[in-house]
Amino acid sequence: MTPPTNQIDENLDEWGSRLFNVSTETLPRPRRSRNVRLGSAKFTSTGGRLSTSQARATYVRQKLQAMVRRAPQVVVKLVRAPKGMKGISNNLTYISRDGQLEIEDQDGQVIQGKEAVADLKAEWRDGGMPIAADSSMRDAFHLVLSMPTRTDPLSVQRAARDFAKQEFSGYQYAMVLHTFETDPDPHPSPHPHVHLTVKAAGLDGIRLNPRKVDLQRWREGFAEALREHGIEATTTSRIHRTTHERWKVQHFRDRKTKAKVLDRQQRQTHLPRKQREVMHHYQQVMKTLARSDRGADRQLAVDLVRYLGAGGRSPEAERGRGKDRER
């Protein structure tokens, strides 16, 4: 007997939320609702609207659909935390390539040239919470927001702008777009990316203290901002995209629909505890989808088996991973 739809959604919420660590802390901050059609899937803004089991189940389905389509993965890295004004000064010089590239601040003002960058440094030093020349505290945080090659750089920049406004309202920040064509570095990265440096102390005196859940929320927020600008993007950790298990395809027939659904047969392997946990969650998610009376759910179960059987990533993607580090 096929479980009712609400039971399917509840089970998918339970196991999918465990799989992707879905919580109010890891989801993007609320933004205005807008639907964007990307290929065959329709993504919706999720921030602040996952208060029901059905909504969270829909969110999990979207994540899984993006995975099996191999949607481009966003990269949000916290690369360093400058200490003192000396560290911040060096950082602003670095990301602007000593004033050669445009800096955009939290007010949308554009700063370019050595003198203008020097004025910005003085503003950071004296404005809001003053910063000493030397300090043992993390007085700023330097993030890199990146997408694969051939992604439209201006869309990446617009998405980074929206993300920064949403996430760092009330903080001073400086963002710079780097592209292969515009970066004067002798070895520019082919990946369009934005350097975003945020002053740790907000205008209200509250200091940023990023944790793991914040990084996950930032990734989700940047991916959502990209989708708002028509760029297909998703974010999943490497452990969710790859597996060392072999998946053997079997066919079985659903009693009511007679539809062919793929099941999986797991080989016994010695996996680290976290990987075993992730694979168990995948197993429960696929069982839930396979038992659904929705054809789209059962097809998603099939696609997941094939995706995991291929190791989650194409060989070309694995070979190219990490070769071109953003600079």
Burial 176-211 (b: 16+ CB within 10 A, else e): bbbbeeebeeeebbebbbbbbbbbbbbeeeeebebe
The pLDDT of residue 25 is: 54
- Higher pLDDT among residues 67 and 318, named by residue: 67
Q: What's the predicted TM-score (pTM) here?
A: 0.74
* SS3 category, 163: helix
Angle between helices 273-290 and 5-20 (to 10 degrees): 160
173-178 and 103-105: which strand pairing? antiparallel
With bands split at pLDDT 50, 70 and 90, how would you rate the model's confidence at 141?
A: very high
The pLDDT of residue 31 is: 52
Q: Which two tokens stand for residue 283?
A: 């197993």
* Beta bridge mates, 238: none
The dihedral of CA 167, 170, 171, 174: what is its sign?
positive
The pLDDT of residue 32 is: 41
Q: How is residue 174 annotated by DSSP?
A: E
Yes or no: say if 60 and 20 are a contact pair by the CB < 8 Å rule. Answer: yes
Mean pLDDT of the chain: 81
The pLDDT of residue 127 is: 84
Kindly list the structural domains of the chain, giving each domain's residue range(s) and its CATH number in brackets, ordered by start. Answer: 5-69+243-311 (no CATH), 75-227 (3.30.930.30)
Q: Summarize pLDDT for 262-281 with one digit per residue, the tens.
A: 444 444 444 577 777 888 88
- C-alpha 95/C-alpha 287 separation (Å) is 48
Q: How far is CA 24 from CA 39, 51, 111, 257, in A?
A: 28, 9, 36, 37
Name residue 36's amino acid: V
Q: How far is CA 85 from CA 90, 107, 199, in A?
A: 8, 21, 11
Of 53-57, 115-119, 162-166, 189-193, the range with the lowest mean pLDDT is 53-57
Q: Which two tokens stand for residue 138?
A: 């993390």
Kind and range of the H or E run holding 75 = strand 75-80
Yes or no: say if 220 and 60 are a contact pair by the CB < 8 Å rule. Answer: no
With bands split at pLDDT 50, 70 and 90, how would you rate the model's confidence at 121?
A: very high
Q: What is the mean pLDDT of residues 67-72?
A: 88
- C-alpha 153/C-alpha 194 separation (Å) is 9
Q: Which of 63-72, 104-113, 131-140, 239-248 shows the highest mean pLDDT?
A: 104-113
Q: What percent of the chain has pLDDT over 90?
A: 52
- Higher pLDDT among residues 305 and 324, named by residue: 305
The pLDDT of residue 280 is: 86
Task: Provide the CB-side half-sphere exposure for 305 (13 A, CA).
Answer: 20
Residue 1 in this model has a pLDDT that exceeds 50: yes
- C-alpha 124/C-alpha 202 separation (Å) is 11
- Higher pLDDT among residues 33 and 152, named by residue: 152
Render 205-259 in DSSP notation, one character per residue.
SPBP---HHHHHHHHHHHHHHHHHTT---B---HHHH--SS-EEEEEEE-TTT--
* SS3 category, 37: strand
Residue 159 in this model has a pLDDT that exceeds 90: yes
Q: Summarize pLDDT for 191-247 with one digit per residue, the tens.
A: 999 999 999 999 888 999 999 889 989 999 999 999 999 999 988 766 555 543 333
Let me know how long the chain is.
327
CA-nearest of 21, 74, 67 to 286 is 67
Q: Summarize pLDDT for 9-45 with one digit per residue, the tens.
A: 999 999 888 888 776 555 565 554 333 333 333 444 4
